[in-house]
């Protein structure tokens, strides 16, 4: 039984008509791997969606202006209506339950994506400022929904046959697209700091001021940054370097280096501030550290061992 990577016969036939370099690249994108790691990602995303569904939003009664979300075109009467928020919360919870139990695929995925996006958009429309704490989860949900839509017949077949966990299923492009998005997400954050603040963003003073105003007073990282400008400046410089270089995570040799830098950044932020970047940190660690390789290798070993036991039992 194959437990590593495979490409469908139909895809291989299509690729044979392409130039060798294109064929090899497309074959690599469509290679399938065991679903254990991807399911861990899906469960993490659905937990994030559940947190959003239960989030206590503070709706501000302030004038709206400009294009700040996909729902900026809606009138105030709808955006500020409690019933609209309640319907979106209920829809999101229902979609999560359906997706979690792998029912009504792929429609349940899009119910989650649309209600998640709409609920967060309503929050953006009714607040003075917001943090990008759910943006990453939102886009990764979109990538997962696109894949499940494309492969829904195969997924349903595997669920019926009881082979969902035992056979390669998830195309390589799903992880690669997620890694690319996470990299671009952080590169955009780094470039925005450089464009709007310049290199002096990493002068150490600004972070000391933020730490003094909003840092957790009893946190060791708070005390360390307030005590040493040199240390604080070094942290800002490293943050700027790793964020701006985020797009380089698309290259496998550089991925763990970028991953360690970004996860360390999130660890420092979470230890110092109450900014709610837990899911950003988790998803970055899952994709940029060698988690997928470890989980897939372990799953393959267990699958092969299970197959060997089954064959031995059959011979008896």
Interval 91-116: pLDDT, tens: 999 999 999 999 999 999 999 999 99
Digit-coded pLDDT (tens) for 248-297: 999 999 999 999 999 999 999 999 998 889 999 999 999 999 999 999 99
Residues 221 and 117 in one domain: no
Q: What is the DSSP letter of 33?
A: E
Name the nearest CA neighbour of 276 among 94, 132, 155.
132
Digit-coded pLDDT (tens) for 169-219: 999 999 999 999 999 999 999 999 999 999 889 999 999 999 999 999 999
Residue 223 lies in a domain: yes
Q: Which residue has the higher pLDDT, 21 or 78?
A: 78
Contact, 190 vs 243, CB < 8 A?
yes
Residues 188 and 282 in one domain: yes
The terminus-to-terminus CA distance of the chain in angstroms comes to 20
Helix, strand, or coil (residue 117): helix
Contact, 310 vs 316, CB < 8 A?
no
Residue 271 lies in a domain: yes
Residues 110 and 201 in one domain: no
Whether the per-residue pLDDT at 309 is higher than 70: the answer is no
Distance CA 305, CA 312 (A): 11
Residue 66 lies in a domain: yes
Number of domains observed in the structure of the chain = 2
pLDDT class of 234 with cuts at 50, 70, 90:
very high
pLDDT class of 311 with cuts at 50, 70, 90:
very low
Taking CA 184 as the corner, what is the angle to CA 133 and CA 138, rounded to the nearest 5 degrees?
A: 35
Residue 151 lies in a domain: no
Residue 12 lies in a domain: no
Distance CA 256, CA 254 (A): 6
Structure tokens that stand for 145 in this block: 């929904």
Q: For residue 133, what pLDDT is reported?
A: 86
Range of the domain at 274: 171-305
Residues 125 and 177 in one domain: no
The share of the chain scoring above pLDDT 70, in percent, equals: 89
In DSSP terms, 170 is beta-bridged to 33
Q: What is the pTM of this model?
A: 0.87
Contact, 246 vs 258, CB < 8 A?
yes
Residues 193 and 81 in one domain: no
Residues 103 and 183 in one domain: no
Residues 182 and 276 in one domain: yes
Phi, psi of 67 (to 5 degrees): -95, 105
Structure tokens that stand for 151 in this block: 């492969």
């Amino acid at each position: 039984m194959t437990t590593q990577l495979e490409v469908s016969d139909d895809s291989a036939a299509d690729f044979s008509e392409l130039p060798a370099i294109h064929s090899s690249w497309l074959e690599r994108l469509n290679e399938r791997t065991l679903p254990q790691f991807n399911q861990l990602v899906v469960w993490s995303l659905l937990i994030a969606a559940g947190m959003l569904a239960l989030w206590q939003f503070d709706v501000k009664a302030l004038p709206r202006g400009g294009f700040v979300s996909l729902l900026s075109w809606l009138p105030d009467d709808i955006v500020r209506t409690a019933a609209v928020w309640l319907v979106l919360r209920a829809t999101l919870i229902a979609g999560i339950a359906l997706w979690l139990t792998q029912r009504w695929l792929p429609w349940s995925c899009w119910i989650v994506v649309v209600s998640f996006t709409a609920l967060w958009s309503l929050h953006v429309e009714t607040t003075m400022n917001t943090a990008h704490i759910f943006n990453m989860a939102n886009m990764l949900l979109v990538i997962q929904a696109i894949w499940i839509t494309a492969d829904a017949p195969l997924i349903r077949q595997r669920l019926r046959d009881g082979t969902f966990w035992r056979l390669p299923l998830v195309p390589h492009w799903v992880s690669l697209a997620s890694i690319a998005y996470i990299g671009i997400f952080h590169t955009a954050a780094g470039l925005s700091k450089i464009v709007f603040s310049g290199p002096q963003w990493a002068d150490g003073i600004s972070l000391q001021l933020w730490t003094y105003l909003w840092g957790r007073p009893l946190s060791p990282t708070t005390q360390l940054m307030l005590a040493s400008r040199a240390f604080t400046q070094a942290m800002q410089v490293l943050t700027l370097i790793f964020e701006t270089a985020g797009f380089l995570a698309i290259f496998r040799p550089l991925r763990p280096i970028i991953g360690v830098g970004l996860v360390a950044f999130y660890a420092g932020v979470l230890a110092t501030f109450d900014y709610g970047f837990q899911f950003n940190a988790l998803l970055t660690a899952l994709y940029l550290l060698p988690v997928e390789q470890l989980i897939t290798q372990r799953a393959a070993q267990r699958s092969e061992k299970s197959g060997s036991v089954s064959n031995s039992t059959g011979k008896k």
